[in-house]
Amino acid sequence: MELRTYYDFANDDYKFIKAAIEAGITANSLGAMAQNTCERFIKHLINQYIPVTAKNQSEMTEVLSTHNLNRLISYWNSKSAIKINSETVEVLKKVNGYYFSTKYPGDDSQTLTKRDYETCMDAVEKCKACVDSIIEQLQD
């Protein structure tokens, strides 16, 4: 399968994360990958369902380059009648920041635990399910 959209890339990583965790393979980079996967699921909604206009073009470019899940959620929820549900928002808050804190050394870096890996999988699954539901509603 050729990867063409944010959703394609997110779904590809979703399958990898799921297989790795089910096989007992854990690595700190799974935290960064989980956050980035959720980002791309939400970026797919923004990229596919919010029309780019001369007025919002620079804003869209900026939003699509962020690694902040809160910002992506806020942007989507402010532009769409179909919101990202509160259960998904809550679990995404738990992995927001993993893109940097699990990938690079520094004062904010962290080592993930087994429970954190479970949270990562929960976030990716809930994000995918929410995005799939929104896409289905938008296509009706």
Q: How many domains does the chain have?
A: 1
CA atoms within 13 A on the CB side of 71: 12
> Could you tell me the residue range of the domain that residue 110 belongs to?
6-139
**CATH number reported for the structural domain that contains residue 50 in this entry:** 1.20.120.330
55 belongs to a structural domain = yes
90 belongs to a structural domain = yes
Q: Profile the chain (140 residues) by mean pLDDT over runs of 10 residues.
A: 93 96 92 97 97 92 97 97 97 95 92 95 98 95
Give the per-residue pLDDT at 40: 98
For residues 38 and 34, give the distance between their C-alpha atoms in angstroms, rounded to a whole number. Answer: 6
1 belongs to a structural domain = no
For residues 138 and 128, give the distance between their C-alpha atoms in angstroms, rounded to a whole number. Answer: 15
- Please give the single-letter amino acid code of residue 77: N
- What is the per-residue DSSP string for 29-45? HHHHHHHHHHHHHHHHH
What does pTM read for this prediction?
0.95
106 belongs to a structural domain = yes
Give the per-residue pLDDT at 60: 94
For residues 49 and 64, give the distance between their C-alpha atoms in angstroms, rounded to a whole number. Answer: 13
* Secondary structure element (H or E) that encloses residue 128, with its range: helix 114-139
Give the per-residue pLDDT at 140: 80
